[in-house]
Structure 1
Amino acid sequence: MNHTQRIRTVVNCTLVVVTLVAGATACGEPDGHQLSLKPYDAADAVSFNGPGKGAKADPDKPIEVTAEDDDVTITDVTAVDTEGRHLAGELDADGKRWHSTTALAAGTRYTVKVATENGDGAPGTLTYDFGTNAAKKLLKISFGPQAGTYGVGQPITAELSAPVTDRASRATVERGLQVRSTPAVTGSWYWVDDKTLHYRPKEYWPAGASIDVRSNLKGIKLTDALHGAATKPLKLATGDRIEAITDASEHTMTVMRNGEVINTIPVTTGKPGFDTRNGVKVVLAKEQFVRMRGETVGIAAGSSESYDLPVYWATRVTWSGEYVHAAPWSTGSQGSANVSHGCTGMSTADAEWFFETVREGDIVKVVGSDGETMTPFDNGFGDWNLDWEAWQKGSALHRATQDATPDAGTDVRTARLRPQV
């Protein structure tokens, strides 16, 4: 009968007439079992290889707890740092030695709690507290975008202060970069290059979501020369689900809010040779006035295609100069022909309405154009133009084989500075 069973039996003693004899235990009193006794101090029976008083441990060296007394075994060891992270370890089968199995975090303190048991079954306990040396070189991480409210297409970015190239180190980085949203979604990081990661869900973020981004890498060993630095967390929110879908072949933009059409706008897109990019883009910025000149995107001044125009209500969707903007000079073609240099043009009133309706992170999708598909990373946020399977292959944690995982940047093509107005 185990101790719990004995307790349940004794509790019912008021219902039974019992004759107490010398040495018996009355109802409600301790039954004298060793495990019910106050744990003894196991300091004399256990040794610890940690640093002496006032010294600090080398985070690259494992810690060990050893039972020195033949009559004592170690039953449990927990090691927790000031960030609340548990250090992984392993206890030998004979209960005589416990050792850590992962590197300690640098620049932190650990509390190690040891539980023992002697030959009579009496419990013992012991606590150690020690610090670790600071790291010599830290990997700093900056999250983006800035805190605020964005559209449902907004990716999260992580910029690293130093390159991380090998798969195992990248996996450690990813495990430490935590993204939580309410409502919860399935998402993944993608290594754009050795110093840049993007995070997106499988589908667009839910409307009205709250998103918390933080790093748990402080002090964690990432490479032989790098440990994680403390990182400022990021809080984001999403607004309504705004999607603007331009059909270049129909010369029309349909704008939806949370799945319902709220406006249909006649537009003009890129003419042959300057075709607007197909695919999903994300609003990058809004500029009420922009001076657009052809030479800034590679058109020679004085050529038949050159231009120098004041442009109002300009919503940027690529870094190379593609906008949704007012184009009063092309109102005769809006809704019937494509005459721009790549931008989506509309009337001044419609452009102002669009400018006031959308926010950074909202979706601007183009279909029906003869242009190429928006590239994923080099010209804005084209992240959504990778399907979920391809996106997961950009993660070091994905279970695909090494050969199936593209090198960082495989899907990135050099942006063409295409003339646009």
Structure 2
Amino acid sequence: MWLALAPLLATPLAACSGGGSQGAAASPPHVIDASRLVHTSAAAQTDPGKPFTVTVQTGGSLTDVTLSGPDGRQVAGVLDADGHGWHTTGPLAPGTHYTARIAATDGHGGRGETTADFTTEQAGRLLTATLGPDLGRDTYGVGEPLTVQLSEAVTDPAARREVEQSLTVSSQPAVVGAWYWVDGKNLHFRPKDYWPAGAKVKLAWNAQGRSIDGQLYGGAPSSLAFTVGDRVEAIVDAASDQLTFKRNGQVVNTIPVTTGKPGFDTRNGIKVVLGQERQVQMSSETIGIAKGSSEAYDLKVEWATRVTWSGEYVHAAPWSVASQGVDNVSHGCTGMSTDNARWFYEQTRVGDIVQVVNSKGHPMEPFGNGFGDWNLSWTDWLKGSALGRSVTTDAPPETVSAAATLRPQV
């Protein structure tokens, strides 16, 4: 860390007279050595979690202060109302060299400029955040939660609050939502109700330089944004063996289906579409059914829409058409005719809702087997927030997206 204060000489400013009886010109301001007038925290500025400050001696005032990193980007700051002080409001990055350029007056017609340099300490550890959804899509369904995966576990309640406060969710229109800590490294955000159709959503991680927990500091910022599509909901009734397809509250189609038979009952509850595969190989061994047993299968399945990581799909099942709308004969998936499965596939997207009712199966897991977030009541969801409260989003986002790949599980 080093400090340099040096006067920057400026060409005296010329002033034009508007005319007067004597035609006298105003005296130009004289250049002063601003380094003698200005004081900064640069000499002791090593902690990136503390603001950088600038003050001026009594009688003087600051006219301009900029603080820039090596990439030329300026750190946000604010000038005190009386003009005697300035401090950063934006974060400082660990292990980074900064240069401040400061302009001041002495109150007696003198003006000058000076600079101050400092380098922040390298943080012991940096906490980075991988944001989701990260499938490289511009549009998702109304059930898609926002996700954050941290680079290391955060368990201290105060540190978790710092993390939540470093995450900004904005949407247009605004919604009421909250974060939920799935575990020490993973957080989900969902609105109280589904996202509004057509909403513009943005998620940003803004913790750079922020002290999270002792020597753990926030790493590089990141963000993503997407648009919400129509409100698409598929309600699968395991008792009537019918799928009711709704778009924006209106019933569009009713499809005969078959769901899980006894012992393989389909999970009850709300699920979110995770991905779609034009064709997928499904093997009973992936769900614990031994090869060669009476329940074994190994099939190439078409028009498959995934709703759990453990292997539940809505897909074409031409072998069970006679049972569709009549009986439940599958191993847990929702089966339908090939034509109906293709129609369903083409009408849905990642993030749409598939809700199963009246099944004798276990309830959908809230976490770990897809996105079962919506199966928690709002009261229980709020209990998972370190801040213990909801937030209201309101700012319009920019469009950002990132690419990733779904796990090819069956």
Place the TM-score, normalised by the shorter chain, in its bin: 0.7 to 0.9
| Gap change, CA 1:295 and 1:139, over 3 Å in 2 | same
Matched, 1:387 2:399: no
Q: Write the letter of the residue equivalent to 1:165.
A: T
What are the equivalent positions in structure 2 for 1:162-201 lying under 5 Å apart?
162-201=152-191
Hey, what's the Cα distance between the residues in 2 that align with 1:183 and 1:170?
27
Structure 2 partner of 1:139: 127
The one of 138, 146, 151 aligned to 2:141: 151
Q: What is the aligned length?
A: 358
Q: Write the letter of the residue equivalent to 2:208.
A: K
Hey, what's the Cα distance between the residues in 1 that align with 2:293 and 2:50?
68
Q: Which runs of 5+ in 1 are unaligned?
A: 1-25, 27-36, 401-419
Deviation digits for residues 45-100 of structure 1 (CA, Å, limit 9, x no counterpart): 66434229xxx634356766677x7x669999999776776679999xxx999999
What are the equivalent positions in structure 2 for 1:234-383 lying under 5 Å apart?
234-383=224-373
Q: Classify the secondary structure of the residue corresponding to 2:203.
A: strand
| Gap change, CA 1:129 and 1:388, over 3 Å in 2 | farther
Q: Classify the secondary structure of the residue corresponding to 1:332.
A: helix
Q: Classify the secondary structure of the residue corresponding to 1:263.
A: strand
- Per the normalisation by structure 1, the TM-score is 0.72
Q: Classify the secondary structure of the residue corresponding to 1:243.
A: strand
Deviation digits for residues 375-410 of structure 1 (CA, Å, limit 9, x no counterpart): 11110011111122221221212259xxxxxxxxxx
| Gap change, CA 1:103 and 1:211, over 3 Å in 2 | closer
Q: Write the letter of the residue equivalent to 2:126.
A: L
Whether the 8 Å CA contact 1:150–1:359 is kept in 2: the answer is yes
Q: Write the letter of the residue equivalent to 1:371.
A: G
Matched, 1:59 2:48: yes
Whether the 8 Å CA contact 1:105–1:221 is kept in 2: the answer is no
Q: Classify the secondary structure of the residue corresponding to 1:364.
A: strand
Hey, what's the Cα distance between the residues in 2 that align with 1:78 and 1:169?
32
The CA RMSD measured in Å over matched residues stands at 3.8
Structure 2 partner of 1:413: none
| Gap change, CA 1:100 and 1:205, over 3 Å in 2 | closer
Shifted more, 267-276 versus 177-186: the winner is 177-186
- Per the normalisation by structure 2, the TM-score is 0.74
Hey, what's the Cα distance between the residues in 1 that align with 2:97 and 2:192?
36
| Gap change, CA 1:232 and 1:99, over 3 Å in 2 | closer
| Gap change, CA 1:273 and 1:85, over 3 Å in 2 | farther
The one of 36, 48, 55 aligned to 2:40: 48
Q: Classify the secondary structure of the residue corresponding to 1:384.
A: helix
Hey, what's the Cα distance between the residues in 2 that align with 1:201 and 1:108?
40
What are the equivalent positions in structure 2 for 1:20-31 lying under 5 Å apart?
none
Whether the 8 Å CA contact 2:75–2:91 is kept in 1: the answer is no
Hey, what's the Cα distance between the residues in 2 that align with 1:130 and 1:345?
67
Following TM superposition, by how much is the alpha carbon of 1:260 offset from its aligned partner in structure 2, in angstroms? 0.8
| Gap change, CA 1:205 and 1:84, over 3 Å in 2 | farther
Whether the 8 Å CA contact 1:243–1:363 is kept in 2: the answer is yes
Following TM superposition, by how much is the alpha carbon of 1:292 offset from its aligned partner in structure 2, in angstroms? 1.7
Hey, what's the Cα distance between the residues in 1 that align with 2:335 and 2:311?
13
Whether the 8 Å CA contact 2:75–2:88 is kept in 1: the answer is no
Following TM superposition, by how much is the alpha carbon of 1:131 offset from its aligned partner in structure 2, in angstroms? 3.9
Structure 1 partner of 2:204: 214
